[in-house]
Copies of this chain bind each other. A is one copy, B any other.
Amino acid sequence: MNPTAAILLIGDEILSGRTKDSNGNHLAKRLAELGIDLLEIRVVPDDHSVIVAALNALRATHKHVFTSGGIGPTHDDITADAVAAAFGVSIDVREDARAILATNYDNPADLNEMRLRMARIPAGASLIDNPISKAPGFSLGNVHVMAGVPVIFEAMVAGLLPQLTGGAPMRSTSVRLDRPEGEVAAGLAKIAARFPALSIGSYPFVSGRGFGTNIVARGTDEAMLLAAETEILTLR
């Protein structure tokens, strides 16, 4: 069994529709490559008690929880405090985080009181490197806290994931059928029943030529995937 994970996206801007999240999709792809099974993505607002409740629900259920958003310098950046509250630990400016943050500013005065908020780290956490703008993320227990800005989030993910233990990477094969789902559904159900170890999904689409169906088979066994692909191709 592969380790499991959930992603918690924190931010009013996603729920208002203003921002179209891309961090969830980015990390989903990286986790599949690593053999960590992503079982939930949850988006919650900038609300302390909602974030705490979501963190506690997800960290009890999954091997890893990855968060995105809410660790900047402004008044609406409340993720670090929520993580500390969820774990019942203290939070304060930490000297190593402050030192890292300071390297971002030529003039020491620029590391003002609001920016120092980004060096507030819950007790017991380890830092996650931020090669873009220095302000670190952190891991506490099985919760990995990262920035919301996509370029920073992706850089943090790139640094963090090699430190985690994955499982068997999920492989997939995709077959495009230019036939509507309803015509291939019966044959596909039989193929799916013959390959219970694979997850076989059917994704209809609408193109200029009418309705079509993408069939995606996913699993960890390459030979089994190829055998399934051969059968799916007969549905063309």
Residues in A lying within 8 Å of B, measured CB to CB: 11-22, 24-32, 38-46, 50, 72-77, 110, 112-115, 117-118, 132-133, 149, 151-152, 170, 172, 174, 181-186, 188-189, 192-193, 199-206, 211, 216, 218
Contact = CB atoms under 8 A, between A and B. Distances in A.
In the complex, the 9 A-B pairs of residues with the closest C-beta atoms, listed nearest first: A17-B28, A17-B29, A114-B185, A115-B182, A74-B202, A41-B43, A75-B189, A73-B185, A74-B185
Contacts of A113: 186
Count copies of this chain in the complex: 2
B42 A16 contact: no
B39 A72 contact: no
A75 B32 contact: no
Contacts of A189: 74-75, 114
Contact of A75 (B15, B117, B188, B211): B188
A222 to B, nearest CB: 17
A18 B27 CA distance: 11
Contact of A110 (B73, B182, B184): B182
